[in-house]
Amino acid sequence: MSTIAEMIGINKARVKLLVKDNKDVNVRTLADSGKGKYYTLDTADPKSVVTTETSPRIEPSALEMVYITDPIPFNGINFLRKTVMATGFDIGPENSEDKLEAPIDEFYRNWMIQNNFKNLVGDIVVQLCVYGNAFGEHLPPKVGNKKKIAGMKLVNPSSIDYKRDDANHRVIVDKSGDPVAYVQVLNFPVENASGDYNKVTIPANKITHFKLYTIGNSLTGIGLVEPMYKTSERKLNIEEGLSQSIFRVGFPTRIASVGDLTHEPTVQEIDDLIMKLKVSNYEDVFGLPYYNKIEILEPKNPEKLKDNLDYFVDTQVACVGVPKPYVTGSGEKTNRQTLVTQTEMFQKTVEFIQERISFYFNQLFKQIAEIEGFKTWPSLIWNPVSVQDLDSKAARLQKYAQSGLLIPDDSVREVIRNLEGLPSFEGNEEQEEQKKDEEEEVTEYPEKEDVKDVKDVKDDKDGKE
């Protein structure tokens, strides 16, 4: 289905004229706004063939373990989720000049409340970053029309995949190149009509498939963990070696030499010395013949391993797309100006994730509208992202006010209150007016004869004493 420039104000006869009255082309009204109708035409089947991915990919369960066990992707992805969700969102018409009908707006808002929409979106952010995919199954109502979409439930990406051909493992697609179904594989038996004891087949139109990044004809998304998978694996191995080296500094390996050229040791003498070393601790003292020696085998320069670790950490940070000080919590080596630039780029990453989520939810809202018979549907709209340093913003605002480019009116006050988390200006009008009146009043000073001279006050004190 493809829209012809969303032809506002062009009637159906004009659309048919554009396609030369071809009766095989389906002309359908999608929406009717105040300015005119939106029409769409069914597209023909493509001549190109969808190849899908053939190169091996990392298993979702392996990506999940990296997120769980490695602090860098764990902290970076969680920071991304907090930042994405902190901006907040709302629903409304895609075009700010249009207006969503009140009953339709109320329907979608109730739908979001029933599905705990904020937590749902937050979980989708994490799954997109970890797996590159999030699968939302459409839930029908318990009673009534089973074609309706009453809710959405996320399916674990580690257990679901496209329905594939058993012979060549390719994704089964229709003539348009779209997957026909998804299959969830379980580790326990379930009852289903397909005959597979541990598989559940779900039609493609019952799943909203969220994807973060895609490449080529691949139908599977790419997240933030997969590009760093090998790096994380190597880094964890180095960390294991570093921890063993540090352990050996405190608890070094001891080597015992028994006997020399003139004193051939017996097996019993060797076993006795080894046993003494095994049961000894730092407080034990014992003497040995001169031909017996004990040496300590210490790791050489274990601190150099840490320098190698920094390289792998930097690579992981680059994959996550979050400034390093935010991920590691250490900013002693960070240049402030560099951090400002990194923060601006990080803001673009947050906006991209929000756009991807909005894209797929807008498709879902459209699907719900078609089932419910609505002519219009809302869009998921995010509030502007702002990750700027508040001190730098305050300094800029102060300069603008001093130069006369910014007049501190009520709207400016409201913005500053929101930035600082202060109560809204509304409701404080009386206090502000009262304060303004007090400032405008001319202070009346008492008559001169009523004011005592400092010398008189001092004399009064002396008299009392």
For 200-249, what is each residue's pLDDT tens digit? 889 999 999 999 998 877 889 999 999 999 999 888 888 887 777 777 76
- Residue 218 and residue 105 in one domain: yes
Number of domains in the chain: 4
Which pair of structure tokens corresponds to residue 48? 């190109």
Place of tokens 């969303």: 6
- Residue 29 and residue 81 in one domain: no
- Residue 437 and residue 457 in one domain: yes
- Residue 112 and residue 167 in one domain: yes
- Residue 220 and residue 173 in one domain: yes
Nearest-angstrom CA–CA distance, 232 and 226: 10
pLDDT along the chain (465 residues), means of 10: 43 48 48 47 65 75 93 93 90 78 92 94 96 94 87 92 85 86 83 69 93 87 93 86 74 78 84 80 74 76 73 88 82 68 85 94 94 91 72 70 78 72 62 58 50 52 52
Nearest-angstrom CA–CA distance, 377 and 362: 8
Place of tokens 């920094």: 310
Q: Domain boundary at 331, 356, 388, which?
A: 388
Give the pLDDT of residue 63.
94
The string of pLDDT tens digits covering residues 373-388 is 998 899 999 988 776 5
Residue among 72, 407, 435 nearest 234 (CA): 72
Containing 234, the helix (H) or strand (E) segment is helix 229-250
Residue numbers of the domain that contains 364: 51-224+321-388
Q: Please give the single-letter amino acid code of residue 397.
A: L
- Residue 338 and residue 263 in one domain: no
Give the pLDDT of residue 332.
58
Q: Is the pTM of this model over 0.75?
A: no
Are 199 and 219 contacting, i.e. CB atoms less than 8 angstroms apart?
Answer: no
Nearest-angstrom CA–CA distance, 407 and 414: 13
In-domain check, residue 66: yes
Which pair of structure tokens corresponds to residue 243? 């921890």
CB atoms inside a 10 Å sphere around CB 39? 23
The string of pLDDT tens digits covering residues 375-421 is 889 999 998 877 655 556 667 777 777 887 777 777 777 777 766 66
Residue among 63, 83, 67, 87 nearest 75 (CA): 67
